Structure 1
């Protein structure tokens, strides 16, 4: 008797949720703090899964929106505006930036290759711009931007009573955001909007002939992805208590692309798997110093493009599907 993969999915998801939230009460605090960064960056990976995997928009700009969200949260949180306002701004500011950038990109009919180059250029411009805004004259709301030194002392979100979240509560918040974002994207993909976006991705001209405004759908997805990336940036700034110009760097922008390619953009969970694997590998390489991290990541990216063009997770799913089909 065959037990298809779909039959096991509910059990797998329940088990995953138990592990995701239950680990907070099992591991040591130092380990939990380290795990939190995997959860936060997984939220960023989901934004890439939406933009590239669902809409087919090859963008280097997710690091831009991640950084904008981090800086918006840091400035407002240190400026005494409150956690709710700071978190809201970390979503709104990247969305506004994405709307402005996306309008000229999509309504200007910029092709995918040039779109990737332009978004990469935007990342480089912000990286060099933020590096130069050092000194007492460069302040927003009384908060010094710090230039290449960044903004230290970023506080974590606070509860309604004013008490700041501790490390365990911040992890649980990040895990909750990850689950909500993933569930929301699953719903979005299956909605009429998501189906229209998939139609635009598969054949833009045919979708427009059927009456869909491909530019509007692309712009909407681009803005939603920016908001998700910005929220991840805010959580990352709160986790580390610091934000600096490296969030706009080309190395970080390239890592996000590698996450998606390694894990597989064909599934929402693909870039998340790639994110966890690559972040673990870079951490391990940094600790052991066995090889240059950038060199190893470059080799992995090339091998995945050549040997696993669909990505690891879609490849594993296909292998499991074939094995269960053969055993039935």
Structure 2
């Protein structure tokens, strides 16, 4: 019954979301689209860190690699499915190579976080130093700190570029598909092994599970989802620059996951959309500093609500349901 309700809820959200672009103004379509794209990025870290227990402080690196991969592929080969495939395959391969050396090298969690953060900063400095005309891949001029502009966006089979409403719907479908795919994976034997490793890595290894391979698979899959978000981000703005690898971007993803609920999948999506909306609203005034507010919010949730929004809401709804049915927490009648 619970799974049926969840499926019906997802279908209802998808149906309402697909109809939304025709009911709101264009500016709002653009604004909500970027919320959804960043929610996919938050979901990728929710899977890697929240479910896999892998502390990745540089998730923006896979996001940026996917964005640059799409931009270069679209300029050289056209904005088709091949460009999308490359934008997902490149960060997946990058995450797999990086993860291989980290997990098979038995690097501890804290150093995994430091390495991923360092990789993100290295990529930012590297792309920032490609401003000369000699820095190009095929027809794509990397542009250095100016980034790559005029990137061809996805088009219909007849060559007509996707309008903002179509990109909105594509992003929403991608978010739902990624959420469902991760949820179904976590119910499989391999998914349960991922959870077991998060809970106690040494015990899982003693039971005969290949911990390094499981963590590598989780890490690469998270990189693929982040790369897909990067691809959608470029299609949203037709632009990408080295700031996509910045420390601020990685820090924001971590804050979204912590505030929403690290051990859940829906929580980081809620946290991401809520904080982006709040940041946008605060950005319209000059009195309160936005970064200061984000710092206060993060501190509050770490100290007062460490589980995050989603588990807290679930707890409140559970208490409300038991109060209405007259059932105690132990399952007996009050």
TM-score (norm 1): 0.95
Counterpart-to-counterpart distance in 2, 1:111 and 1:266: 20
Inter-partner Cα distance in structure 2 for 1:267 and 1:45: 11
Give the aligned partner of residue 167 of structure 2.
170
Structure 1 runs (4+) greater than 4 angstroms displaced:
4-8
CA contact (8 A) 1:47 1:228 kept: yes
Matched, 1:96 2:93: yes
Displacement of 1:6: 7.0
3-state SS of 2:134 partner: coil
User: Residues 237-257 of structure 1: CA distance to partner in whole angstroms, max 9, x if unpaired?
Assistant: 110110011110000100000
* Aligned mate of 2:82, from 82, 85, 101: 85
Q: Distance in 2 between matches of 1:66 and 1:252?
A: 10
How far, CA to CA, are the matches of 2:196 and 2:251 in structure 1?
Answer: 28
Match of 2:13 among 9, 16, 21: 16
Aligned twin of 2:200: 203
Deviation at 1:8, TM superposition (A): 5.1
Pairing partner for 1:29 from 26, 29, 37: 26
Find the counterpart in structure 1 of residue 331 from structure 2.
Answer: none
After superposition, residues 25-64 of structure 1 pair within 5 angstroms as 25-64=22-61
Distance 1:9-1:176 versus aligned 2 partners, 3 A rule: closer
Report how far residue 272 of structure 1 moved.
0.5
Residues 77 and 83 in structure 2, CA contact (< 8 A), matched pair in contact too: no
Alignment equivalent of 2:294, drawn from 297, 318, 325: 297
Give ranges in structure 2 of 5+ residues lacking alignment.
326-334
Structure 1 Cα separation of the partners of residues 4 and 180 of structure 2: 19
Q: CA deviation at 1:286?
A: 1.4
The superposition leaves residues 138-192 of structure 1 with CA deviations (integer Å, 9 ceiling, x where unpaired) of: 1011211111111111121122232221111111111111111111111111111
2:261 maps to: 264
1:273 and 2:267 are equivalent in the alignment: no
Match of 1:181 in 2: 178
Name the counterpart of 1:148. 145
User: Are the structure 2 counterparts of residues 237 and 7 from structure 1 closer, same or farther at C-alpha, using a change threshold of 3 Å?
Assistant: closer
Aligned residues: 325
Verify: 1:315 aligned to 2:329, yes or no: no
For the residue of structure 1 that corresponds to 2:282, the secondary structure is: helix
Work out the CA distance in 2 between the residues paired with 1:44 and 1:120. Answer: 16
CA distance in 1, matches of 2:10, 2:286: 36
RMSD: 1.5
Q: 1:270 to 1:307 in 2, by over 3 A?
A: same
Aligned ranges 1:114-263 → 2 under 5 Å: 114-263=111-260
Distance 2:136 2:193 in 1: 43
Distance 1:277 1:46 in 2: 14
The DSSP-based 3-state class of the residue aligned with 1:309 is coil
Q: Which moved more, 1:154-163 or 1:248-257?
A: 154-163
TM-fit CA distance, 1:11: 4.7
**Structure 1 residues 205-235: Cα deviation after superposition (integer angstroms, max 9, x where no partner):** 1111111111100000000000010011011
